[in-house]
């Protein structure tokens, strides 16, 4: 079997590639990635430098919006399935400049699905997000997102992801393309780009820099260890019902401020580093996934408790300083200055 994994040089895609190599080592993975600021080939270095991997792994630098490049790739590889992780993924950047989000997240998904249609109705899985459901109020802890919750987006990022989801369902209904969609809550773990909450706070704390918390820090996210997300996608890919959406989440809701305090504690850093900054525009209050469907139909349950996963993640950033120090330079420095000021 040959699987195209797009966005495999990013956080979740790379973790998924490592998951595949461990759990389905006989299957060939072709990673397609544009290597934007968020893509890092160094993440895949151990596979790229392993001569024994050349049969079962290929990396192609390409843009999923580039129809000619995708056509050549599908022609050459004749893949059995496509898992689409490639996306612009940061809400704050989407607020600053939405256009590239529309291009990559919507048009890129359409190009990939056109290729799937053209080359024999290839199985397509879209990696989506709980953010397509909008947010829940802080004072209604009884409410959760189910697969039936209406799409109701807030940011240009979540709107672009929701648009892609609608398009995926349109290709299913109109052309009979064999698709599935998974909508996961916030992930954390190794190889996450330091612009996102958890790695940003770890990296800043290690350098004794201010820890910028938006608003009052009371917004709630539902955190899942990235390995549990990868296993869920694999299950949906192999056993999920075609044309269905599966929510993924581990019932692990936390306020941002509590996460930042926990990171300070684990690293032995003072909470005086915490700096409250101007709130994000349109900031979603609470995300909370009801994962009953994937549990009932595919037997999925999260395996990593947050208390263990966060310690493992902090340890990973401590042990892999060179990985993120290389990244926390150039374009990211400029973004950081623009977004947070000096």
- What distances in angstroms separate CA 263 from CA 185, 188, 211, 268, 318, one per listed residue? 20, 13, 10, 8, 12
Q: Which residue among 63, 88, 130, 284 is the active-site one?
A: 130
200 binds ligand TYD (CB under 6 A): yes
Bridge-based pairing of strands 28-33 and 224-225 is unpaired
Q: Which is nearer to ligand TYD, 91 or 294 (CB)?
A: 91
CB of 116 to ligand NAD, least distance (A): 16
Which CB atom, from 106 or from 273, has the smaller least distance to ligand NAD?
Answer: 106
**Distance separating alpha carbons of residues 84 and 297, to the nearest angstrom:** 22
Strand 2-6 versus strand 274-277 pairing type: unpaired
Q: What is the distance of C-alpha 275 from the center of its chain?
A: 26
Is residue 200 close enough to count as binding ligand NAD by CB under 6 A?
no
Q: How far is CA 264 from CA 50, 69, 225, in A?
A: 37, 45, 19
CB 187 within 8 A of CB 225: yes
Burial 163-202, CB ≥16 within 10 A → b, else e? bbbebbbebbeeeebbbbbbbbbbbbbbbbbbbbbbbbbb
Catalytic residue of the set 33, 63, 88, 131: 131
Q: Is there binding between residue 154 and ligand NAD (CB under 6 A)? A: no
Among 123, 125, 161, 286, binds ligand NAD (CB under 6 A): 161
Is 131 annotated as catalytic? yes
233 binds ligand NAD (CB under 6 A): no
Stretch that binds ligand TYD, among 21-29, 60-68, 212-220, 322-330 (CB under 6 A): 212-220
Binding segment toward ligand NAD, per CB under 6 A, in 85-93, 204-212, 235-243, 310-318: 85-93
The site for ligand NAD, by CB under 6 A, has a size of 31
12 binds ligand NAD (CB under 6 A): yes
Spacing of C-alpha 45 from chain mean position: 20
Q: Applying CB under 6 A, does 293 fall inside the site for ligand NAD? A: no
**Window of 4-12, 172-180, 237-245, 312-320 that interacts with ligand NAD by CB under 6 A:** 4-12
User: Rounded to a whole number, what is the largest CA-CA distance in the chain?
Assistant: 58
Q: In the complex, which residues of this chain contact ligand TYD (CB under 6 A)? A: 91, 186, 196-197, 200, 212-214, 219, 221, 256, 280
Q: Which residues are catalytic?
A: 130-131, 157
């Amino acid at each position: 079997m040959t699987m195209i994994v797009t966005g495999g040089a990013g956080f979740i895609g790379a973790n998924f590639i490592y998951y595949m190599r461990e759990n389905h080592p006989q299957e060939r993975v072709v990673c397609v990635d544009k290597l934007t600021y968020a893509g890092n080939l160094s993440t895949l270095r151990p596979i790229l430098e392993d001569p024994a991997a050349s049969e079962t792994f290929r990396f192609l630098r390409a843009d999923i919006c580039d129809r000619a490049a995708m056509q050549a790739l599908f022609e050459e590889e004749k893949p059995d399935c496509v898992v689409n992780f490639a996306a612009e993924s940061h809400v704050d950047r989407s607020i600053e400049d939405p256009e590239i989000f529309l291009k990559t997240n919507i048009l890129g998904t359409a190009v990939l699905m056109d290729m799937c249609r053209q080359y024999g109705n290839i199985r397509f899985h879209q990696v989506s997000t709980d953010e397509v459901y909008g947010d829940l109020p802080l004072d209604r802890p009884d409410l959760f997102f189910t697969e039936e919750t209406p799409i109701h987006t807030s940011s240009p990022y979540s709107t672009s992801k929701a648009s892609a989801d609608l398009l995926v369902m349109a290709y299913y209904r109109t052309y009979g393309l064999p698709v599935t969609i998974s909508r996961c809550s916030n992930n954390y773990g190794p190889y996450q780009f330091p612009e996102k909450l958890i790695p940003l706070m770890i990296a800043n704390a290690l350098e004794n820099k201010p820890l910028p918390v938006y608003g009052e820090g009371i917004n709630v996210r539902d955190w899942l260890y990235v390995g549990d997300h990868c296993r869920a996608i694999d299950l949906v890919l192999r056993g999920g019902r075609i044309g269905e959406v599966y929510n993924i989440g581990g019932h692990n809701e936390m306020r941002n401020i509590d996460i930042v305090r926990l990171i300070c504690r684990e690293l032995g850093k003072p909470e005086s580093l915490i700096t409250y900054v101007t709130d994000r525009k349109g900031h979603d209050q609470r995300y909370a996934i009801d994962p009953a469907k994937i549990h009932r139909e595919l037997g999925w349950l999260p395996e990593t408790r947050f208390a263990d996963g966060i310690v493992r993640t902090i340890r990973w950033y401590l042990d892999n300083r060179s990985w993120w120090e290389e990244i926390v330079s150039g374009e990211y420095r400029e973004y950081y200055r623009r977004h947070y000021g000096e």
